[in-house]
Structures are given as structure tokens and as C-alpha cells.
Amino acid sequence: MITKVCVYPGTFDPVHYGHIDIVKRALNVFENVIVAIAENPKKKPLFSIDERVDMFRESIKEFSDRVIVESFEGLLINFMRKYNTKIIVRGVRLFTDFEYELQIAMTNYNLDKVETFFLMPSQELIHISSSIVKDVALHHGDLSKMVHPYVEKKLREKFKV
């Protein structure tokens, strides 16, 4: 099966420039990227699913003709059937990321022959994680090089800073 569509799943709590970089890189390979935002209550997200979808959409407006942002619950492979694709794109920053992502990739392959492409963010973004973004926001730090201005505004509102 040859596809022009990939799915980029995650919790994205919140979306940051590393995530956006992965979307841009995926658009160099695929015609369309479906950003699949997981409900994932196990992670106890700071932002609701609707807020996360909204922030991601706002952050990628310039690519909105090629990127779709949607939420999903349950198994990712079930969500992917809606778009008739078996391609996942995942960002990996560190070796520890890769260990975890490899387990998930092998599970998805065994469940439904889904292939996973691992992409690294740009060197200047590789250190950013959603946890770090939230910590910097909580402590009134400069977020301008980490997140889109809209996301920064939402973080400031959430932390009332």
C-alpha cells in the first residue's frame, strides 16, 4: 500500500515548536499529515482535549491546507482506518524516547502492519518537551523560542502568570 497520508499521534500537552518541526519534516515526505491528539487520561493533561486541538490548529495555520488536527480515543490503528493509511510518524529526541517508541511501533505493526517513521527535530529544538514547556511557564520563564505565541498566551492564562 502506497500512501500520501501519515498520522502524527501524541498527547501534545501543549504543542511546542519541536512538534511543529516534526510536522514540517513529515510534509517533506507526505502530502498530508493527520495530527491525532490522544485523549490519554493516564497522563493527566494540563489542557483539555479541545484546548489541545485548538492550540495545535492555531500553531500550524500556515499548513492547514495539508494538515488535519483531530482528537481520538482508543487504539490509534482504529483511528487510522478513517484515513486509509498505515503510516505513523513519530518524533524522537533521545535514545530513551526511541526505546519506548520502538515498543509501540512493533505493537502497531503486529496489530495491523502499520509502519512507523522516526523523525528527529532540528538541533535547536531537540531539548524541548511539553514537560519542560509547562515548567518554564509555571516559573515565568521565556517561552518565545519554545511555543507559538497563541500557546504561550494559553499557558499564561492557565498558570495565571
Active-site residue flag, 59 = no
Domain ranges of the chain: 5-125
Which of 16, 52, 130, 148 is catalytic? The answer is 130
Active-site residue flag, 57 = no
Q: Residues within the annotated binding site?
A: 11-12, 19, 43, 76, 90-93, 101, 125-131
Q: In this predicted structure, what is the pLDDT of residue 161?
A: 62
Active-site residue flag, 43 = yes
Q: In this predicted structure, what is the pLDDT of residue 3?
A: 65
Q: Residues within the annotated binding site for ATP?
A: 11-12, 19, 91-93, 101, 125-131
* The CATH number of domain 5-125 is 3.40.50.620: yes
Which of 43, 61, 81, 145 is catalytic? The answer is 43
Active-site residue flag, 140 = no
Three cell numbers, residue 87: 503510516
| Per-residue pLDDT reduced to its tens digit, 148-161 | 999 999 999 999 86
Which of 16, 19, 57, 86 is catalytic? The answer is 19
Q: Residues within the annotated binding site for substrate?
A: 11, 43, 76, 90
Q: In this predicted structure, what is the pLDDT of residue 100?
A: 84
| Per-residue pLDDT reduced to its tens digit, 42-82 | 778 999 999 999 999 999 999 999 999 999 999 999 999 99
Q: What is the pTM of this model?
A: 0.93
| Per-residue pLDDT reduced to its tens digit, 107-161 | 999 999 999 999 999 999 999 999 999 999 999 999 999 999 999 999 999 998 6
